[in-house]
Amino acid sequence: MKKIFLFFIFSFIFNQEECDNSRYLDEVFNVEVDYNVQYGQNINESFWGSQITENLYMDIYQPINDNFEFRPLIFFMFGGSFVGGSKSNSDIVALCNNYAKMGYVAVAIDYRLSQHLLFFFPNEENAYKAVMKSIHDLKAAIRYFRMDDEFYNNYNIDINRIFAGGISAGAIGSVNAAYLDDINEVPNFLNEDLNEIGGLEGLSGSSGYSSEFNGVVNLCGAVGSRDWIIENDIPIVSMHGNQDDTVPYDDSLVTLFGLNIQVDGSYIIHEKMLELDNYSQLYTYENQGHVPFSDMRFETDFSRDFLYDLVCYQDVLIGDLNQDFSINISDVVILINLILGNEYTSYGDLNYDDTLNVQDIILLVDIILDN
């Protein structure tokens, strides 16, 4: 019996009620938008370099007449070389509308730009500062929804199914938010400033909540270093032209604003993910340059198919009833209480007989003793 349990301990749980129909694959909903919802605030530089306080806003796209209480949440960040663009960019609006029509809560965020730093003082340090600002603002937006979920539940999201993506600079922000997760990975020239700006999390709002997310949609982005990607890292779907001379497809240089910064593009990210047996897909636009998109129809469909598996199939540790990523005596206590209350959860059904009973307790204790 123990061998059978160990074989199934990591199990794909299918969200049948949600995923047996066309939800998350077809555009079956109309959409409503809440515009200019403030999610945070932080210090920035004006065009001429004076310090200002900048309010941070987002547009929230939701499916109309949707009765599901735990909906996946996806963020999209606009492109514009960290000096231009907004959440109203037509490509971002198209992506958000398309995903909301499929049953997601889709969010377009504005993030702080770095016109003063990159126009007047273009160097590698300031380029990284621009990226860090976008990372901090994305993380604040994610934390905002977790805060709202705890106190208000205005948006009926599933805080365990959150995704982030973007186009060009927005893709760089979301990709690096996913994989720059160790303070030791930060370039040395930023270490002195990092504490002042809030470390890896930033100071843009809703502190105290997790900013973790579960997948990345990368449209012509790059990561600072492939070495930041580790085993079991966040899944990523990438789309990129192999003749991109703005954000490299491979491991070339970013040359915008006269810079020469080494980064690893979508092809290198994908190869590193596959090397580590991580979940990744890549679509290459052959002989195409930067942002070779039109109406975002293909980009929606390709990323949709990738995310469908993440939304509808969750890798779950069976027996971890309190979902703290470990199995211990606390889970046994919870399981006993569920049995006494004649309640059921698939997390406690260790022998997969659709009921909770003493056999599940025995299996759970056996796993704990077997470490």
DSSP 183: G
Coil vs helix vs strand at 187:
coil
Q: Where are the domains of the chain?
A: 16-317, 329-369
Question: Residue 31's beta-bridge partner residues?
Answer: 63
Q: Running along the chain, 371 residues long, what does each successive block of 10 average in pLDDT?
A: 35 57 94 98 97 98 95 98 98 98 98 96 95 98 97 95 98 98 92 89 96 97 98 96 97 88 97 96 98 97 96 74 78 91 78 82 90 69
Hey, what's the torsion of the CAs at 248, 251, 256, 258, to 10 degrees? -150
pLDDT of res. 79: 98
CB 316 within 8 A of CB 9: no
pTM over 0.85: no
Task: Report in angstroms the alpha-carbon separations of 232 from 6, 176, 215, 229.
Answer: 19, 16, 12, 9
DSSP 8-state class, residue 71: E
Give the distance, in angstroms, between the CA of residue 371 and the centroid of all CA atoms in the same chain.
32
DSSP 259-310: --EE-EEHHHHHHHHHHTT--EEEEEETT--S---SSSHHHHHHHHHHHHHH
With a CB cutoff of 8 Å and minimum separation 6, the contacts of 225 are 185, 263, 264
pLDDT at 318: 72
What sections of the chain are H helices per DSSP?
2-8, 16-19, 90-101, 115-120, 124-151, 169-179, 188-194, 266-275, 297-312, 329-340, 358-369
Residue 4 has what pLDDT? Answer: 32
Residue 196 CA from chain centroid, whole number: 25
Q: In the structure encoding, which two tokens stand for residue 76, read together?
A: 């999209």
> What does the pLDDT read at residue 102?
98
Q: Report pLDDT for 257.
A: 87
What CATH number has the domain spanning 16-317? 3.40.50.1820
* 186 token code pair: 């930060």
Which amino acid does the sequence have at 212? E
Q: What's residue 314's pLDDT?
A: 62
- DSSP, collapsed to helix, strand or coil, labels residue 181 as coil
What is the reported pLDDT for 346?
65
Residues 6+ apart with CB under 8 A from 254: 127, 222, 246, 247, 248, 260, 261, 263
